[in-house]
Chains A and B, each alone.
Chain A
Amino acid sequence: MRIRGVVASAVALWALALSLSVRALPGTVAIPQPPAEAPAAAQPTLTNTDCFDCHDDDSAARADGRSVTVKPAAVEQSIHASMDCVDCHQDLATAELPHAETLKKVDCAGCHGDADELFKVSAHAKARADGSLVAASCVDCHGTHDIRPKTDPESKTHHLNVAATCAACHGNAEIIAKGHMPRDMTQAFADSIHGRVLNKSGLMVAPTCSNCHGAHDIRPPKDPESRVGMGNVASTCGTCHEGIARQFKGGVHAAVLETGATNAPACQTCHTSHSVQRSESRGWQLSVINQCGTCHAERMSTFRDTFHGQVSTLGSRSAAGCADCHGAHEILPATDPRSPIAPANLVATCGKCHENANANFVKFDPHANKHDRARNPALYYTSKFMIVLLFGVFAAFGLHTVLWLGKEARLKRERRGKPAAR
C-alpha cells in the first residue's frame, strides 16, 4: 500500500491501521475497544457486510484505477477480527453508500494512545512533522487491514520479520535518498553475527533492529536519550551482554562517557553497530587494533614497531594485540592495581604467552619508541648508531661502486671502440 503519498499534514498522527501492536509495550496490553459509543440514533450504522459487498470484489477500484479491494479473510485473520470496519473508519459509520473516495485518516491513537505517545518523540515522527513523505507511520511497520499480533510468525512485527520490515524502507535506495536517511545498513546487519544468528539459525534471542533501537520511540543516535547513543549503548547491549556491560562500566572508557563526553569508545566504536562480528574471528581481532589506534595513535605506531605489531600487521594472531595485554572491556590504567598492566600484574599478563616470564622479562617495553630519548634512551642511541652505520656503509660503498662501474664501462667502450677506429 502506498499510503505515504497522500500523507500531508504536519501534525498528523493518523493511520489507516485498525490497531497498533500494543503488546510491544510491556505491561500495557489493552483489548481494543471501539473508541466511543456509536450513536444509536439517526442513521443505521454500516456493518462489515455492507463494506464487503463492495470491497470483497477484486475489481473494486477508485476512479483513478487504484484497487480498494479488502479481503474479509485478511481482516478475519488479523488481530482486529472482532472489530467492525467503522470502528477505525469512523467517518464512514453513518455514511451513505457509495461513500466518498477520500476518507479521514484512521487514528490508531484512539486505542493505542501509549504507543502514540512514544511514537511522537521518534525520529520517524519528527521527520513526518518536518514534512517527510517517506518516514514511517503506524501502517508502514504494522500493516493495515491484515495486522497480526507480533507472536504470529506471519506478522510484520514478529521478531524474525522485523529486520525485513525495517529494510523495506532502510534498504531501499530510492526511499533512503528521498528521506535523507542513514546509509543502507541492512546488508551489513544481515551479514553480522546478530543477523546470521537471527536469519540463519532463527534464534529468537538474537537481537533484531528493535532490540537496540526500540520500536515506537526510535531516536537518532545523536539524541542523548537514544538507546544507541554513546551514553546509553552499553546498557542497551547489556540487556543481552550483561556481564560484558558490567565489565565495560568498570573501565576508563565508560568513565569518560559518563561525563557526557563522546570521545571515548562505546560498544559500537570497536564492534561496529550493524556489522558486529564474532570476537573470536581473526579478522576482527586484527582490525580492532586499528580501532584502538584511531585515538591511541602513538601507542599503535610503537606497537607496530615491535615483534607483536609486525606479526599482527602480517595478519597473524600468534602475537599479542592490544586486548591481550590491556583487556578488552574493562580497560584500566597501569596505575590501577586491578589493571593487567599494573606493575604487579605484568609477570602474570606477559606470562599468558611467555610461560617463563619473570621480573626481568617484563622490563621489555612493548611500546618502545626509538625516537623518544626520554622513554628509551638506550634504544634511542642504538637506533641512531645503526642509522649512521647504515648510511655510512652505503654511502661509502655506493660511491665506490659508482666510480668502479664508470671506470669499467669506459674501459669496455674503449676496447670495443679501438679496433673499429683502426
Chain B
Amino acid sequence: MPDAPSGMVTLTIDGHEVAVPKGTTLLEAAKRVGKDVPHYCWHPGLSAPAQCRMCLVEVEGAPKPQPACVTTVMEGQVVKTESPQALSNREGVLEFYLVNHPLDCPICDMSGECLLQDYVHAEGRKHGRSHEPKRVFGRDDFGGDVLFYGDRCVMCTRCVRFMSEVERDDRLTVVERGNRSVIDTFFDEGLEGTHFHGNIVDICPVGALVSKEFLHKARAWDLSHEPSVCASCSQGCNVELHVRDNLVQRVKPRENIEVNAWWMCDYGRHDYEWMNEGDRIEAPLVRDAGGATRALGWKEALHALLERAGGVSNRSVRAVASARASNEDLGALAELVGALGGGETVFRSRRAADEIVLKGFPKLARRRDLAPNLQGAELLGMQRVGSDDATGGLEGVRDHDGIVVVLGDALDDQDASFGGKAGLFVYLGAHAGAAARSAHFVLPVTTHAEQEGTFTNHEGRVQRFWPALRAPGMARPAWLVLGALVAELTDGSVSRSASAAFARLSDAVFAFAGMSYDSLGSRGAVARVPAGASSGSSGAGA
C-alpha cells in the first residue's frame, strides 16, 4: 500500500481500501466507496445529533456499533456497513419506526421519495410484529406553507435544527419526551413570517412535513426532475423543476455549495406558476397595413421582417431587453442591434426594498434584484432604466422613429401608442401585452423553463439551465430567432444550439472568454466581471 499523503487516513470499508482526509466521518468516507449508509438525522448542512441510530456500523475492535455520521476515520480502521450486525441493527431500528408510523403511503405526499419507505423496502422485515394500537398525534398547521403530520414523524429533528442553525429563528422544538415526543411550534407563533421554511419540507425524510401548496397535487413517481436555475432574483439558486403533464408542479433546491448549498427561499420556491401560464403567443404574427395581424410560418415571417427592415430610412435601433432573458438571448439581441445599424439597448428590472439573508448560510439571500440575469445584461453593455418597480424609463424608445426591438419586456406600463412611430417595431415575447399592439412583428419566444441557456448571477457566476417544459406552438428560443436574423443580415452562420450560441458569446464578450457549456457543467463558473462594474444586482452594499 502506498503511503497516504499527510493529513490523509487510510481505512477499509466493506473490503475497499480508501484514503480520506483526517476528520472525515465514516458516513462520508463510505460514500467514497459507493456505500450510502442509511440515515435520517444526519444532513450535510446541519449538525449531527446521531440520534436516529440508523447509520450504526460495525467497526472492528469497537465494543458497540458506531454511528457513522459522527464517528471520524482512524488509520487502519476496518468498517463494515453491511455485516450481519449492521444489517440486524438497521432492521431493528426500522421495525421500531414502524411501531407507530402509519402505513398511509397511498395518501402520503412523500410516498415514492420517502426514506422510510426506501429503507424498509430494502432492508426491513417482511412482516411487522407489532400488534399494539398506534400512537396518534394528528395534524398541525405550522403556518406558512407547512403542514405537520405528527404520526409520520421519525423524530430526526432536522426541521428543528434547520430553523435553529440555518434560518436562525427558533420556531420549532421538540415537546414532551419518550415516544410522546412531537415537533411543535411555540404557542400561537408558527412559521409565518420566516422566509426559508420551505426547506424543512425538503429535508424531512418522511411525509411528516408537507407543503400545503403541493398537498395531494402529484405523486412523486409521476414527476420528472429537470435541473434549472431559479429566475426569481439575482442569487441564481440551483433548482429542480418538478414537472408533470408539461406543468411545473413544484420547485426544489438543487445542491450547489457555491451558491445556495441545499437551500432556497420561499419566494423563489413558490414563484413558478408563471411558467405554466397559457395565453401564450404561439405563432409569429405580422401586422398588415390595416392593423390586423396574420400568423405566418417562421421563414415567411423573418423574410417579411428583413424586407421591412430594408425599407426603414432611420436605421438607428432602440432595443428594450429583459434581465429575465438568458445570456444567449441577450447576446443575440446585441448582435442584431449591431447588424441592423447600431443603437442602444436598455432594460428594466424590479428591485425589492431589502435583501433577505439566510443567516446560517449568508452567501444565500433573496437579493434585491428580482431577475436572474441582471449581471449578464450589464456585461453586455445594456443600460438599466426605469424605477424599482420596473416601470418608466422608456421615453427614448416609445416615440423612436427608427427600429424598435423589444425582447421579453411585457411593457405593462406602456399604452398602445408605444412604438407607434417606429419604422420597424419587433416584439419578441411569451405573452402579447397591450403595448405590443403597434408592433409590426410579434414573435413568440420561449421562457427559460422551455429552453437551454445560462444566467449570470449577482456575483458573476454563469450557470446553465435546461429545458423542463415543451414550448407552446411555434415559440422558439430568442437566441435562435435573433440569430437567424443576424445570419441573414450579415451572411454569417447561424447557431444551431444554445451551446453554439454561448460559444459565440464567449468569443465576443471578454467577461465570458474561455467559457463553454462543458466547462460550466452543472455548477457554473464565475465570469470576469470588470472591477467596478456597477452590478446593480449586488444589492448587498446598497
Chains A and B are bound partners: no
